Structure 1
Amino acid sequence: MNGRCWVALAACVAQLISAAPAAAAVHQDALVRTDLGWVKGAQASDHRVFRGIPYAAAPTGDRRWRSPAPARPWPGVRDAAEPGPRCAQPATPGGPTGASEDCLYLDVTVPGTANGRKPVMVWLHGGGFVEGAGSDFDARHLATAGDVIVVTVNYRLGVFGLFAHPGLAGSGGFALEDQQAALRWVRRNATAFGGDPGNITLFGESAGGKSVCAHLASPGAAGLFQRAIMQSAPCTGTVPAGTMFPGVPAFRQWPSVADRQPDGARLAAGLGCGDPATALTCLRRVPTERLLPLHDQFITPAVGSQVLPRDPERALATGRFHRVPVISGTTRDEMRYMVALFYELPGTPITARTYARLLRRAFGARAGRVARRYPLDRYASPGLAWATLTTDVVFACPTYERNRSIAQWVRTYAFEFAGDDVTTKIPNSDFPLGSAHGAELAYLFPVPGLDARRRRLSATMIGYWTAFARTGDPNAPGLPRWQTFAPARPSTQSLAAPPDPTGPINVAADHRCAFWAKELSPATVVQIRRRLADEP
């Protein structure tokens, strides 16, 4: 799967989020002593921000593709007014780039109130595991409105964070190891910033949400967080061919390390490092810029390493995960962005003929049954029909089934974000985006220019998220009641802007999940994989 497909959306959202205006004039006089030394951040009237704090040693030179090592203490006072470098990633159109492998830094935003130890929320950014940075997200409003400490984290990406190779310890999991190193830093240093090291919420969207899913199943994450929030997390289910991106074969969300190691061996050979005895030494000498063109060949964590020894989907289904309260959900129209950008290209929209071909590619002999459940005469365009279908099969129903699994073991709150996408802009496209993938980020980390009705949804969402961080329950005075999700009462909370109500909906019915449970049963998935294996 081509990880660059996520990049334009993440870059657009991040630019708008990071452009939020300062709440007040900033003064450089915030001092905190961490376990490695003093840091001096930025002080405003209602918050403090500490940026660019190293949580692990630079994974450069011989440390490339190794588990994160402790950062070294520093003398004196470290200037923490600016974010650390972005992890190495290719340039994006109109967006920032990153060329440094010395990138394991985090930012801490602390509200100005002094009423006891505060909950700590640790944010893992999205971007398909190929781009983004924690510093893209301005957490000032989330921290001050919710009276919580927010930590945003960089972690190694793409070929630097998820590379696998025969004989390489940690294959496929360095990004997850980085995130756990950041969580350990937070636990050690939360008290210094006024936070509660025993009340940490791990939350993330897209690749960040998938990372949260992985940490729920990772033995190394035990005790590192007490609550979890997964937003649009593609961490369960098998994706039929072409339903996420054009031309991509059917794939599992969690490949094995054994599956990925041959890819690493081929990459090494292509770089002149094909001798198994010296391959890793040779590869660690390859300049960063020579690896960047190969960045998106490794875009998801692999199962079978020390950090992720078992499949998270299996772990969630069998209760072998960390028993913490969970919020889990999606946006209502997840796939509209991807369909608009990668299928509805200017001048080449999806037609009825294209729609039929896509169905055959994805579902083979079952294409007719799928077409009858998603007939073109119900939609304004074939593109909207395909976006609705793919939203259901890739995001909505796998998330619903995951919530059913989790709810057997822990208190679970399910959501569907139904607000407008106010950040995504696709040139020369009038395809309606609705509540597309990533749309909720502009409300959780509010962007400038939200009107009154959207600000109300933003306040509701921040209220839910921070109440959950405080108590493990999103309900709080002044907010619409949010019911728990239970197998016998699978209620999902719609998060909508007025005049639409925020309240319970039936996701399974709205997204035809009973139909997909039958069509994508394990036996059906096996048949699809066998058919694809026989194709030229």
Structure 2
Amino acid sequence: MTMRRLLTTLCCALTAVLATAWSAQPPTQPDRPDAATTLRTHDGLVRGTAHDGYRTFEGIPYAAPPIGRLRWAPPHPAAPWHGVRDATRPSSACPQPAGEVPGGSTDEDCLRLNVTTPDGARPAHPRPVIVWLHGGGFTTGAGASYDAHRMATRGDVVVVTVNYRLGALGFLAHSGLPGSGTFGLADQQAALRWVRAEIGAFGGDAHNVTLAGESAGGYSVCAQLASPAAADLFDRAIIESGPCTGRADRPFAPSSVPLSTARTAGADLTVKVGCSTAHDVMHCLRRVPVSRLLKAQAADQQPAYATPLLPRDPVSAIAAGRFHHVPVLLGNNHDEGNSWAAGIIQAGHPVTPGTWPDVAATFFPAAGEAKAVVGEYPVHATDGGPVFGAVIGDADFACPTARTDTLLAAQVPLWRYEFADEHAPLLFPGTPPFPLGAPHASELPYLFDLGGRPRGLTAAQHRLANTMIDYWTRFARTGDPNGPTSPHWSRHTAQSLAPDHIVPTHTTLTRHHCTFWNALG
């Protein structure tokens, strides 16, 4: 295993550690069992759970189980059911290694979604809808990890969280296989079609849908912006820490790959599971146990472009103006790379003045790049971790987000933020080797109760959380995050989000060395 592969694998492991802190709680008992919790969808009746001020409906099928001949097929409609379907507890997560889902999952019957709706939402008085796509590197994650009740009640919106196929089951590419490299994206589109058709019964406005996501979920929003098949499926977009300009050679941020590259990865998987010499390769692959596929799949997973669903790389589509022109709220965190740097150091790879050139060369192998990075970001005796974290965050997130901003803002209304709470709650147990500041995913507890567990926020952090929910949900309602109770957010300047310090910031490009990264290419 090369040093680059080792460190990338460690990064994926760290993501799983982070996610473990989010694992879902057992379902709670209803707070108000007498409230109306049975609703009719086109497929049948569903019974949810009443809480104080909101209702939840969990594990609703939006597509048929992708099993048997439907493994590696575009999503098919869910079958109607008789009687009342129990929607009081989450469904299985899509197949994935252990991490966010304790013990992992091998259940392919996972194309389900969850709806959180405020009490006042009714078909006669519909509320804006936010559809949330989880992160997890396209290999882990589950919609049920995101308890959206604070967003739903404070923002008076309906929130839908979605499972979609992950890993090789979501993104396998094979010659002659329709949908190659994009099954997970196709699932997301099927969920959006379900929302357009069904959300009215839950008090949601089917004509006011915001597609939102973080990390791989944020990049999924980019892909849907660029996908012709997603036309008219959503009306606004929120992209958190998933810049549309992600690149496969910057392994910490999500990206897409050409179909040819995805097919090469698919061929490697076929060899590993013993199907490469089969007369009918796909028939063989569809009989491989999920557990074996999970062991054989690559640590890195990306959607494929040059495909019918995603004809162009999202950055190319956006630069050419060939994307869905909807308002966008876009942002990143101030210290995106620190959690990865900390994990790599804790795994036994210190970053010192002596080791820094080799570490830099691992991630920037092109001639002259590592030397330039070391010169731009010198490491001294005790600051190796924060410096490495800054390189990851600046190269993979902050500057690509700024470039995404430039491309989109020239064509659609856009608001950009930088989450900057330097004391954001840690997302994993233990003491990191250096203060992490506002690393990747640290904004999520301000919007959701991850795994149903509210984080221990200070009073000032609670105020920030409320303001962020106000911004996000006003944007979903009107396409503009501004309102009378929040600091003004200009379309022309990134908004820094920190406790009791929400202000425009004019220094993001300088602070994150974006002139350097743009010149490096």
TM-score by length of 2: 0.91
Q: Which residue of 1 aligns with 2:139?
A: 130
**Alpha-carbon contact 2:213-2:239 (below 8 Å) kept:** yes
Matches of 2:121 and 2:212 in 1, distance apart?
24
Residue equivalent to 1:493: 495
| Cα distance per residue 1:222-243 (max 9 Å; x no partner) | 0000000010004314465xx6
Cα distance in 1 for residues equivalent to 2:267 and 2:251: 27
**Larger CA deviation: 252-261 vs 125-134:** 252-261
- Shift in CA distance, 340/26, structure 1 to aligned 2, threshold 3 Å: farther
Tell me what 1:352 maps to.
353
Which of 49, 63, 69 pairs up with 2:70?
63
Give the drift of 1:218: 0.2
- In the alignment, what sits opposite 1:454? 461
Q: Counterpart of 1:78?
A: 85
Residue in 2 aligned with 1:261? Answer: 263
Q: Give 1:4 deviation, angstroms.
A: 7.1
Which shows bigger deviation, 121-130 or 511-520? 511-520
SS at match of 2:487: coil
Taking the TM superposition and a 5 Å limit, the aligned residue runs for 1:285-300 are: 285-297=287-299, 299-300=301-302
Q: Which of 155, 175, 190 is equivalent to 2:184?
A: 175
- Pairwise CA distance, 1:353: 1.4
Indicate the residue corresponding to 2:480 in structure 1.
473
Query: What's the offset of the Cα at 1:349?
Result: 1.9
CA, structure 1 residues 252+63, in 2 after alignment: closer, same or farther (shift >3 Å)?
A: closer
Counterpart CA distance in 1 for 2:398 and 2:273 is 40
2:166 equivalent to 1:157: yes
1:341 match: secondary structure: helix
Give the aligned partner of residue 5 of structure 1: 11
Amino acid at match of 1:442: P
| Residue of structure 1 equivalent to 2:209 | 200
Secondary structure at the counterpart of residue 147 of structure 2: coil
CA displacement, residues 382-414 of structure 1 (integer Å, 9 cap, x when unaligned): 221111122111111111011100011000111
Q: 1:348 to 1:300 in 2, by over 3 A?
A: closer
- Distance in 2 of aligned mates of 1:300 and 1:460: 33
Pair 1:323–1:197, CA change in 2 (3 A): same
Could you tell me whether the CA contact under 8 Å between 1:13 and 1:423 is conserved in 2? no
Q: Match for 1:81: what amino acid?
A: T
The answer to whether residue 437 in structure 2 is matched with residue 430 in structure 1 is no
Closer, same or farther: CA 75–258 of 1 in aligned 2, 3 Å: same
Q: Deviations over 1:259-286 (max 9, x none)?
A: 1212212322332212364000111111
- Residue 236 of structure 2 corresponds to 227
Is the contact made by 1:13 and 1:442 (CA closer than 8 Å) also made in structure 2?
no
- How far is the alpha carbon of 1:330 from its aligned partner? 0.6
Bigger shift: residues 418-427 or 472-481? 418-427
SS of residue matched to 1:352: coil
Does residue 187 of the first structure (1) align with residue 174 of the second (2)?
A: no
Partner of residue 373, structure 2 = 370
Asked if 1 retains the 8 angstrom alpha-carbon contact of 2:273 and 2:296, the reply is: no
Provide the C-alpha distance between the structure 1 equivalents of 2:260 and 2:114, rounded to a whole number of angstroms: 35
User: How many Å apart are 1:504 and its aligned residue?
Assistant: 3.1
| Cα distance in structure 2, aligned partners of 1:14 and 1:144 | 26
Give the Cα–Cα distance (whole angstroms) in 1 for the partners of residues 11 and 348 of structure 2: 20
CA distance in 1, matches of 2:348, 2:239: 36
1:311 aligns with 2:313: yes
Paired residue for 2:445, among 437, 442, 465? 442
Mapping of 1:31-50 within 5 angstroms? 31-50=38-57
Aligned to 2:326: 324
Residue matched to 1:508: 509
| Contact 2:10-2:343 within 8 A present in 1 as well | no
Please, which runs of 5 or more residues in structure 2 have no aligned partner? none
CA offset digits 1:281-303 (Å, max 9, x no partner): 11111111211202345611010
Structure 1 range deviating more: 40-49 or 458-467: 40-49
Shift of 1:193: 0.9
* d(CA) in 1 for partners of 2:121, 2:277: 59
Length, aligned pairs only: 505
The residue type equivalent to 1:407 in the other structure is A
Question: Partners in 2 of 1:112 and 1:450 — Cα distance?
Answer: 26
Match for 1:396 among 392, 395, 398?
398
Residue of structure 2 equivalent to 1:525: none
- Residues in 1 aligned to 2:404 and 2:270: alpha-carbon distance in whole angstroms: 37
Change (3 A) 1:52 1:24: closer
